Amino acid sequence: MSIARICSRAGCQKPAVSTLTYVYADSTCVLGPLATYAEPHCYDLCADHADRLTAPNGWEVIRLAPDPAAAGPSSDDLEALANAVREAARPLPPREPRPGTPGAPVEVTRRGHLRMVRDPGTNSSEG
């Protein structure tokens, strides 16, 4: 379950689409795409409030437009996802038994993310 972020303006319940950051040293307001996660010193704004944003006298507003091509998953993202799935599907190396124990479970077979293990201390003919 993900909680949608809402506009930081008082009384506004619209979903946030932009993030506003103040750079006090440069007297600049930076308005860009919605940040990946909420920061304590940034303000999330809905489309209406982002469009009507004005800066204090003597301040500059920099509006960073999102790159439409970067909005969707790239081929690098898909390749990284495929590599992560392949890595997760690799069989685990056999574990060494802990000192003082007669043996550790032995992996018999694997299907997807499920493994069948046999305890080496039991007889395989027992059912």
Is residue 7 within 8 A of residue 44, CB to CB? The reply is: yes
Range of the domain at 85: 1-90
CB 11 within 8 A of CB 44: no
Contacts (Cβ under 8 Å, ≥6 apart) of 9: 45, 46, 49
For residue 121, tell me if it sits in a domain: no
Torsion of CA 52, 55, 60, 62, to 10 degrees: -40
More confident of the two residues 88 and 124: 88
**Residues 118, 106 contacting (CB under 8 angstroms):** yes
Report whether pLDDT(9) > 90: yes
Q: Is residue 57 part of a domain?
A: yes
Name which residue leads in pLDDT, 18 or 107. Answer: 18
Q: With 70 as the cut, is the pLDDT of residue 68 above it?
A: no
Q: Answer whether residue 127 is part of any domain.
A: no
Give the total number of structural domains in the chain.
1
Question: What are the E-state strand segments in 2-55?
Answer: 18-23, 28-33, 43-45
Task: Give domain status of residue 84, yes or no.
Answer: yes
| Residue 118 belongs to some domain of the structure | no
- Name the helix (H) or strand (E) containing 82: helix 75-89
Q: Does residue 101 sit within a domain?
A: no
Is 98 among the domain residues?
A: no
Across 81-103, average pLDDT: 73
Please give the model's pTM, rounded to 2 decimal places.
0.51
pLDDT in tens, 109-125: 888 888 787 776 665 55
